[in-house]
Amino acid sequence: HENGVIHRDIKPQNILIDENGDVKVTDFGIAVARSSTTITQTNSVLGSVHYLSPEQARGGIATEKSDIYSLGIVMFELVTGRLPFSGESAVSIVLKHLQAETPSPKAWNPSIPQSVENIILKATAKDPFYRYRSAREMNEDISTALDPERVNEQKFMIPADDEEPTKAIPVIRESLVSAGLEQQTIVYEEKKEEEKKETKPKKKRKWIVWLTALFLFLAAAGVSAVTWIPDLIFPKEVTMPNVVNEDYDEAVEKLSSLGLEIKDTIDVEDDEIAEGKVVRTKPEAGMMVKEGSAVIIYKSIGKKKVEFGDFIGEDIETAEAQLKNENFMNVTRNER
């Protein structure tokens, strides 16, 4: 980016990880459309529709912030397992990139820290003004996303009173809309003749330098987004321990040491488990749960207590019947 080279087609298919965990960005400067979901503009490829920035969709000039937008879409897919915008055709997807705000990743993965969602929302802001100024700035933000003081930070919001000016959108030909899913290549109005001139041979050497510089910056952001974030965002699983018949305080300590949260404690009567000990838990022992999961403990308050009636003056048979009706089974007579 520092050398003025824009990738223009950042997507998971162009990010490779080798056996050593090193991340490499590929497919620089592609010249022709290589898939049915690639938008072209008169002899130049602008990018894949699912990861296309709004300015590219409008037929505008791609900048460093266009790559940042695409990387933000990759991060959204990484932490949610889905794309933020989908549709029946390339046209409908492009229109969503132009008009719809990026949905909240936490809607599909509530375990994502607010700081991580903020990185994605900032990177995919419709107006480039509100995105990161550089890939380096985005990488620095990613490196501190899991700091304790940032986990519950305020949600990233675009100022409501700052309206974006009206912008012209290039005409999309009707033939494309009728093509449906079988034809998903958008062709914009032809560029000016001077813009279509071939690059002079003497610029080829500079191209290699630009590619190297772009690789270094995008690889740094790619390493964080592809390899570092998933390990920190998604909590590991633990086996729910068996704390039945253990003292309540000891059970709480054991569960907390595994990273589980005691959501509630419910007192229950139990004829077998002594008062103050654990009767059962929810989830039950042996189940696999994620760290941070909520646990409900059912604590014994001892055997059921009932009010003993006054049978003085009652007939013996009547008194025995009433006692047995109250579940007093070992009733004996002691006549005086």
Highest mean pLDDT among 5-9, 26-30, 179-183: 5-9
Average pLDDT over residues 135-147: 92
Quick: pLDDT tens for 56-80: 888 888 889 999 999 999 999 999 9
Residue 88, judged by CB atoms within 10 A of its CB (0-12, 13-18, 19+), counts as exposed
Q: In this model, does residue 324 exceed pLDDT 70?
A: yes
Q: In this model, does residue 172 exceed pLDDT 50?
A: no
CATH of range 12-233; options 1.10.3720.10, 1.10.510.10, 3.20.20.140, 1.10.10.60: 1.10.510.10
> Annotated catalytic sites, by residue?
9
Q: Within the chain, which residue ranges are assigned CATH 3.30.10.20?
A: 237-300
Quick: pLDDT tens for 189-237: 444 444 444 545 555 566 666 767 776 777 666 666 655 555 555 567 7
Helices (H), the chain: 54-57, 64-80, 90-99, 114-123, 135-143, 174-179, 204-223, 229-233, 248-257, 316-325
Neighbouring C-alpha atoms within 13 Å toward the C-beta of 171: 5
326 or 226, which is more confident: 326
Q: Within the chain, which residue ranges are assigned CATH 1.10.510.10?
A: 12-233
331: pLDDT confidence band, cut at 50, 70 and 90?
A: low
- Separation of alpha carbons 336 and 331, rounded Å: 16
Question: Does residue 247 sit in helix, strand or coil?
Answer: strand
Among the listed ranges 4-18, 28-42, 104-118, 322-336, which one has the minimum average pLDDT value?
28-42
Average pLDDT over residues 168-192: 42
Quick: pLDDT tens for 262-309: 989 999 988 889 999 999 999 898 888 888 888 999 999 988 777 767
Topology annotation, domain 237-300: Trypsin Inhibitor V; Chain A (3.30.10)
Neighbouring C-alpha atoms within 13 Å toward the C-beta of 121: 18
Among the listed ranges 7-11, 21-25, 154-158, 193-197, which one has the minimum average pLDDT value?
193-197
Among the listed ranges 136-140, 224-228, 309-313, which one has the minimum average pLDDT value?
224-228
pLDDT of residue 72: 96
